[in-house]
Amino acid sequence: MVQADDKRLRRFFTPYHIAVVGASTKNHWFFNMVGHAQRLGFAGRFHPVNPGAGEVCGIPAVAAIADLPDDLIDFAAVIVRSSRVLSTIEELAGKGIRNVLLVSSGFSETGPEGKKLQEDLAAFCRDHDIMLMGPNCLGFMNVAGGTSVFAGGSVEGELVSGTIGIIGQSGAASEQMATKILRKGLGISTYVTTGNEAVMTAEDCLEYLIADGTTRVVAGFMEGFRDIPRLKRLALTAADRQIPIVLIKVGRSAKGVQAAASHTGALAGNERVMEAFLTQYGITRVDTIEELVETAGIFSRCPLPRGGRLAVCNLSGGLAGMYADLCQSLSIELPDFSPSTIAALREVLPEFAQPANPLDVTGSGFSSGMDRIVRIMLDDENTDIILTLSFPPAAESDTWALKLNESYMGVLRQARKPIVPVTFREVSDYARRYYREHELYYVEHVRDGLRAIAHLIRYERFLRARFPR
């Protein structure tokens, strides 16, 4: 039986000497592994195994597993045909290698024959205490730890260490999640793909992330769960540590269940029961990758609110009406400002502006007093969360936008209430670097941002019910 305790999981996710069986220049898997490790500044070493090459990607290779150095290799990645996988794992076990990533596909996702192969593989691993990730899996990046055994190719953006941990049962979907998170400058602790989960499960990865000391938010793409009682325990542990879990859980429709089963062989489960379960245990469910990124971002960068009352600051009466409609559809409360707040706003705003919530500051107010306006809204006893505007600078020469953002940057950083800036125009590559360098979070699409705020409010209520003040 494989013991997935904390010590074992930490060893699995921090390998140093990594054998890659099936490393070749004929496919991109090993090339990707090496490239991602170099991006992270990996200080360890890869040991390619290829019977027909003296080196692979410029790295000296050995012809067979038997030629690997004894008592040195602490991890192996396997990239061979499904029919050769079991014999390969047996050879690795003979070398004392107990931590394995299986990239190869052709198992339970393919039908009865593949299912039998996977069952035999899982039985051998359990009998020989082999922690196996996969099959049909891209691997992981331990960004915070500077270690990567990741075979995917499309994670873009600077690999910034951060507090968001990612678990994906779909490699392609989770690559999108990781890319969008990195492009927003949020940073990743560890990014894990789990594939068919013959041995190692999403629950194992969740346990690791909750305990790693770096992850403050878990973002996941789930097709099914293997161990519901354990998931309950982990969800409550995460709540105790105030680590939100944000998931896309496919299977709301019959077609979604069918697609999940054909992809990784996952059990999608009963939808009504699943929805109730996630709500009961404080797990936030979202519908799209964009909503997941915004929600994980707000959770990672904003303090928890003391309530659910939102104040909105914008630049248009028309937008004020649209925001009000969106808030109503999401059951977000828009309180009236207190009399003292209204009086203070009248001193800052142009005389023709109306100090109401949602607030239209007008063009004149926006360009002259945003820092004061935001401070006044923060001080209102009727508000718990502030939604405001940010103008992303198009380039270094965009001095107006730079000056405007810097005028209330200190307010955003020091506020004890959550402040969520929404961009008023397209975000350029320069602006993304600017926001990342200044550690400023921003929302690009107001609907996803408001949905994320609604999730933040519900999570705070869940915690308040679990831990009464």
Tell me if 65 sits within 8 A of 96, measured CB to CB: no
Tell me if 217 sits within 8 A of 209, measured CB to CB: no
Q: Is 18 left (phi over 0), alpha (psi -120 to 50) or beta?
A: beta
Residues 6+ apart with CB under 8 A from 345: 337, 353, 355, 359, 373, 376
Prediction pTM value: 0.92
Q: Which strands form 359-360's sheet, in the order they lie side by side? A: 359-360, 310-314, 385-390, 419-423
Question: Scanning the structure block, which residue is given the tokens 């192969």?
Answer: 117
- Topology given in CATH for the domain delimited by 305-466: Rossmann fold (3.40.50)
Our CA angle for 321, 327, 329, nearest 5°, is 105
Compute how many other C-beta atoms are within 10 angstroms of the C-beta atom of residue 465.
9
User: What are the two backbone dihedrals, phi and then psi, of residue 234, each rounded to the nearest 5 degrees?
Assistant: -70, -40
- Pair of tokens at residue 296: 């994980």
Q: What is the pLDDT of residues 136-151, one digit of tens each?
A: 999 999 999 999 999 9
Q: What distance in Å separates the CA atoms of residue 271 and residue 251, rounded to the nearest whole number?
A: 7
Tell me if 320 sits within 8 A of 274, measured CB to CB: no
Compute how many other C-beta atoms are within 10 angstroms of the C-beta atom of residue 413.
11
Compute how many other C-beta atoms are within 10 angstroms of the C-beta atom of residue 394.
16
Residue-level pLDDT at 262:
46
Q: What distance in Å separates the CA atoms of residue 4 and residue 200, rounded to the nearest whole number?
A: 8
Residues 6+ apart with CB under 8 A from 130: 2, 89, 92, 93, 98, 99, 100, 124, 199
- Pair of tokens at residue 79: 């990239």
Tell me if 221 sits within 8 A of 169, measured CB to CB: yes
DSSP string of 51-77? TT-SEETTEE-BSSGGGSPTTT--EEE
CA distances from 455 to 199, 353, 443 (A): 33, 31, 15
Tell me if 140 sits within 8 A of 190, measured CB to CB: yes
Question: Scanning the structure block, which residue is given the tokens 């994980």?
Answer: 296
Residue-level pLDDT at 271:
82
Q: What distance in Å separates the CA atoms of residue 229 and residue 130, rounded to the nearest whole number?
A: 23
Residue-level pLDDT at 439:
78
Task: Identify the CA nearest to 283 among candidates 227, 326, 333, 237.
Answer: 237
Q: What distance in Å separates the CA atoms of residue 373 and residue 349, rounded to the nearest whole number?
A: 8
Our CA angle for 312, 313, 316, nearest 5°, is 110
Q: Where in the chain is the domain with CATH 3.40.50.261?
A: 6-299, 305-466
- Low-confidence residues of the chain: pLDDT under 70: 1, 252-269, 364-368, 469
- Which CATH code, of 3.40.50.1700, 3.40.50.261, 3.40.390.10, 3.20.20.70, is assigned to 6-299? 3.40.50.261
CA distances from 322 to 446, 447, 450 (A): 10, 10, 12
Amino acid (1-letter code) at residue 462: F
Q: What distance in Å separates the CA atoms of residue 344 and residue 334, rounded to the nearest whole number?
A: 19
Q: What distance in Å separates the CA atoms of residue 392 and residue 237, rounded to the nearest whole number?
A: 38
**Would you give the DSSP letter of residue 153?**
S
